[in-house]
A and B are shown apart, each in its own frame.
Chain A
Amino acid sequence: MSVTLNSRATLSTLRAAGRSGGFAGRFAWRDLRGGLRGFGVFIACIALGVLAIAGVGSVAASLTDGIGKAGRVILGGDLAFTLIQREADDTERAFLDAHGAVSAAASLRAMARPVARVAPAASPPLSSAPTNRPTEAPGTAATLVEVKAVDDRYPLFGAFASDPPLPLAALLAQKDGAFGAAADPLLLTRLGLKIGDRIKVGDAEFELRATVAGEPDKLAGAISLGPRLLIGVAALRASGLLQPGSLVRWQYRLRLPEPRSSDGAVTAVEKQAQAEFPEAGWEIRSRSKASPQLERNVERFSQYLSLVGLATLLIGGVGVANAVASHLARNRDTIATLKALGAGGGNIFAIYCTEIITVGLFATLIGAVLGAALPFAIAYFFGAILPLPVEPTFQPGVLALSIAYGVLTALAFSLWPLGRAHDVSVSMLFRDQVAGERSWPRARYIGASAAIVAILAALAVFTTYDRRIAAFFLAAAAAVFVLLRLAAALVMAMARRAPRQNSTVLRLAIANIHRVGALTPSVMLSLGLGLAILVTIAEIEGNLHREFAAALPDKAPSFFFLDIPAAHARRPRHYFCARGASRFAHRRRRVVERFLCGRAARLARKQDRA
């Protein structure tokens, strides 16, 4: 029954709104044409929230687009086939060659030692800082490097840049008994070298002819533990580092011929390779998934920031509600006059709802325009220094979503005060006293508010990457709202029951806390929500930090000594033991042993043999 009544009431309101639609629009225009005085907070709240959501979404989408469009460059080809510890055999290579241009590259970690420097013998310094610094001992100063050996077809896409600029063939060619190499500037700093100096990696000697200024396929690489050293495949073979069991990753990048390089063709080649070589054990990646981990990270990061943006919008919503209530309070006289002249409550609602939607749309558009411009601004001002490819584009989907958020938030927080305007008493026009006004709006407005909040929640849940997190966020936001409102009611009740004060100022202050229309609930909601968001972000960061700190001692050593020469392998133990902490020294000993039992041990033995 009540549902039927409510439906009738809603229909009646809608009919009234329809009838007064033209007048509502005209009146709203007349009211707004003099300016947006009093709407500053309203516009700022909505525009900032929409800017946050539109900006984060646009930047994330631009990043994803950039990664997607630069997929060929990041991957180094249309397809990449990766083999660990072995090269492609003749059949596999023939298959690849039959489908297009192939570039082979090998990557491994190795120790690089300067060969041209002569320095007095000294012990390697040990410090508490994590370090890859070279030792100062002649012939033994070494550092870990990420070796990448490329053939003469590298790179298939993009361009390799060196400083000074040199053709890659000339850069890597063998000359005067040394192969050419390009190194990360960090390597030169660590070993105290300059361009033209020589280093030794394995059995081969390299002349550092340039530094690496741009490596097109760098983003697709694995985690880097040392500076890059780019050499030729022939040099790698001459180094003696290619031994059975060596941790070498061979990557074959395939560029399909242009007429047959569509996404379908790429997928077809990938499927054919899997079908023809089921035992190859190679990992195949296509240009559309050049860096899936990076794309996932961008998506998760953007989701987190989007939720922060939504939280901003919710806090702004309280500001919106206050601004709308203030606007209506300023217009009480006008509302009462209109009612006296023949306007029904539905007309009043229609007029002011039209105004709020108009201003809300204006504020939303400001936020959306600024948000849409954000990726362009980032690309313009920071594009050169960003490690990720940003492809600034206009993102209609993201902007539509942010506009929907803005308008729905404006409505969700405005309907309550707008609903109360329906029942503004006309008696104020005849006498100062205003009695008998409802503090709650009619059921139809409460229902409409609830429906819009539900739509807003559904939008937040169904458009995010992880719906569970979004649902938790919304539940927490709702709980905080209810708790803060209850806390405000408690404060007001306490103020109402407070003993009478002698001081007039104090009495007025306490009365202002609990009087009808007091700002206590809105102040507590605004401040409480703002602080809750700040504390939540700080807590998330603190928890992550604590989790890492708690997990590290059991799972990973605190310090890595990656470049300790074999001759000085025992020195760290003496160094730490000499400083007392046996447990500390013991842990470090285990770390050193663990490390020496791995690849470094083999390298050390090899060095010793040499």
Chain B
Amino acid sequence: MNDISARLLAGAAVSIDGVNLSLGRGAARVHILKDIGLHIGRGEAVALLGPSGSGKSTLLMVMTGLERPDSGSVLVAGQNLLTLDEDRLARFRGRNIGIVFQAFHLIPTMTALENVAVPLELAGIGNAMAIAERELAAVGLAQRAWHYPAELSGGEQQRVALARALAPDPAIVVADEPTGNLDEKTGSEIIELLFRGQAGRGTTLVLVTHDAALAARCDRVVHMRSGHIEARAPAESRVE
């Protein structure tokens, strides 16, 4: 790593260099990420745009430490994820990275409030329930705190998931197609909440989407195709 790179990394929330990743075995092995390099600044909102199978979600997983690359380096909030063992990586993720899934992935046996409290409890934060209650109120679900996911609509479930991702006040929030399972109106509400939360806290946002209009709301759009980040415009463009 040269001096220029080091200077760049000092201000970066996410710094990925030379990442390659293949999955599967034998003849079924597929090279999914090919020599990926990506740097995202603190507080920046970046959209990963590309067709299905281009490697967007896998890059998100590498960024969150859920998948280890075959080669390259991954730094998130100044921490090299590849040097952490599984338990330390999990703890790091719990405190520094919030994740919003397309399919919500709330825990069905817990109430909305308990779902929001889960990452706080895992991180060992004492007043987990009070913080969770505040986060639920911020997404407009204070009255639904004691409802189970099955008793909530899709939009409400995604709002709970958003509150859960923001509750530990993470350095980076990643969202994988957050509106993919919602109707247009509800999706818009969720996006509003997401950007409002990101802007209000100065959190870095990495958003995976197929929706070019949604991507356009981000500070930067990164185009992916066949495991590569496209090098020239419109591969990576700054939104004015």
Complex contact B23–A436 (CB within 8 A) = yes
Tell me the complex Cα distance, A549–B103, Å: 71
Chain B contacts for A334, CB-based, 8 A: 107-109
Chain B residue with the shortest CB-CB distance to A340: B99
Chain B residue with the shortest CB-CB distance to A346: B87
Tell me the complex Cα distance, A26–B124, Å: 13
Task: Number of A interface residues at 8 Å Cβ cutoff, please give it.
Answer: 31
Complex contact B86–A345 (CB within 8 A) = yes
Tell me the complex Cα distance, A19–B90, Å: 14
7 A-B pairs with least C-beta separation: A342-B94, A344-B87, A344-B90, A342-B122, A430-B57, A341-B119, A426-B66
Complex contact B23–A435 (CB within 8 A) = yes
* A193 is an interface residue with CB less than 8 A from chain B: no
Name, among A19, A23, A339, A344, the residue most crowded by chain B CB atoms within 10 Å (CB to CB): A344
Chain B contacts for A33, CB-based, 8 A: 109
Complex contact B61–A343 (CB within 8 A) = no
Chain A residue with the shortest CB-CB distance to B164: A341
Chain A contacts for B91, CB-based, 8 A: 342, 344
Q: Mark A317-349, 1 if CB is under 8 A from B, else 0.
A: 000000000000000011011111111111100
Chain B residue with the shortest CB-CB distance to A29: B109
Tell me the complex Cα distance, A431–B103, Å: 11
Complex contact B61–A337 (CB within 8 A) = no
* A12 is an interface residue with CB less than 8 A from chain B: yes
Complex contact B66–A427 (CB within 8 A) = yes
* B159 is an interface residue with CB less than 8 A from chain A: no
By size class, the interface of chain B is 35 or more
Tell me the complex Cα distance, A395–B108, Å: 43
Name, among A20, A30, A342, the residue most crowded by chain B CB atoms within 10 Å (CB to CB): A342
Chain A contacts for B66, CB-based, 8 A: 339-340, 426-427, 430
Instruction: Report which A residues bind B (CB closer than 8 A).
Output: 12, 16, 19-20, 23, 26, 30-31, 33-34, 333-334, 336-347, 426-427, 429-431, 435-436
Complex contact A347–B90 (CB within 8 A) = yes
Chain B contacts for A342, CB-based, 8 A: 90-91, 93-95, 119, 122-123, 168
* B176 is an interface residue with CB less than 8 A from chain A: yes
Complex contact B176–A430 (CB within 8 A) = yes
Complex contact A30–B119 (CB within 8 A) = no
Tell me the complex Cα distance, A460–B38, Å: 61
Tell me the complex Cα distance, A337–B94, Å: 11
CB distance from B55 to the nearest CB of A (A): 11
13 A-B residue pairs with Cβ-Cβ distance under 8 Å, sorted by A, are A19-B124, A333-B105, A336-B105, A337-B105, A341-B93, A341-B164, A344-B87, A345-B87, A346-B87, A430-B58, A430-B60, A430-B66, A435-B25
Chain B residue with the shortest CB-CB distance to A426: B66
* B121 is an interface residue with CB less than 8 A from chain A: yes
Complex contact A341–B94 (CB within 8 A) = yes
Tell me the complex Cα distance, A87–B105, Å: 91
Chain B contacts for A435, CB-based, 8 A: 23-25
Tell me the complex Cα distance, A34–B123, Å: 25
CB distance from B91 to the nearest CB of A (A): 6
Chain B residue with the shortest CB-CB distance to A34: B109
Chain B 83-133 interface residues, beta-carbon cutoff 8 Å to A: 86-87, 90-91, 93-95, 99, 101, 103, 105-110, 114, 118-119, 121-124
